[in-house]
Amino acid sequence: MRKIIILILVLLPNVSFADQGLKISCFDMKSLIIGRKHDPLKFTLQAVGLQYFDKEKNKFVMIEANKLDIGENQVTARFDDYELGFQMIVFKGDTKPTMTMSKYDYKNKKFLEHYTCDAKMAYIE
């Protein structure tokens, strides 16, 4: 009888669930206004951190959650020369918040670029 139970447990399919997170795609606002097409910047925000593809290193990089500045409606990731700030804002005339991302040069104290983002809940593998 034990052998049958063990065999059933071995043969049963394993059910696993991935963690839920946000898949974020950001487009440069200036390029959208001018009409230029650029590939979006893509990020994955999950419980363990913020993941992005680093073109210079040609690999995915994870910024751990304890290195992110996380607030009620914002997440900021700091790099050597700049920081990326993701925030939810309501534009004038809108009723729903929009996710935006700003690239801020904290050494020279000026914003470099602004992005509008699409964020979708997704299961992260």
Range of the domain at 57: 18-124
The secondary element (H helix, E strand) that includes residue 27 is strand 19-28
Q: Is it the case that residue 4 has pLDDT exceeding 70?
A: no
For residue 51, the domain's CATH number is 2.40.128
- Identity (one letter) of the amino acid at 85? G
Across 15-35, average pLDDT: 78
The predicted structure's pLDDT at residue 106: 92
2 lies in some domain: no
SS3 31: helix
Residue 107 in any domain: the answer is: yes
Residues 5-16: what's their mean pLDDT?
Answer: 56
Q: Is residue 6 part of a domain?
A: no
- Give the pTM: 0.74
Residue 9 lies in a domain: no
Q: What is the pLDDT of residues 37-73, one digit of tens each?
A: 778 899 999 889 999 988 888 998 999 999 999 988 8
Residue 63 in any domain: the answer is yes
Q: Poorest-confidence range of 18-27, 90-99, 107-116?
A: 18-27
Residue 71 placed within a domain: yes
4 within a domain of the structure (yes/no): no
Q: What is the mean pLDDT of residues 12-33?
A: 76
The Cα 6–Cα 20 span in angstroms is: 32
Residue 3: inside a domain, yes or no? no
Specify the pLDDT at position 114: 93
Report the domain count for the chain: 1
Q: Is the per-residue pLDDT at 79 higher than 70? A: yes
Note the pLDDT tens digit of each residue in 93-112. 989 999 999 999 999 999 99
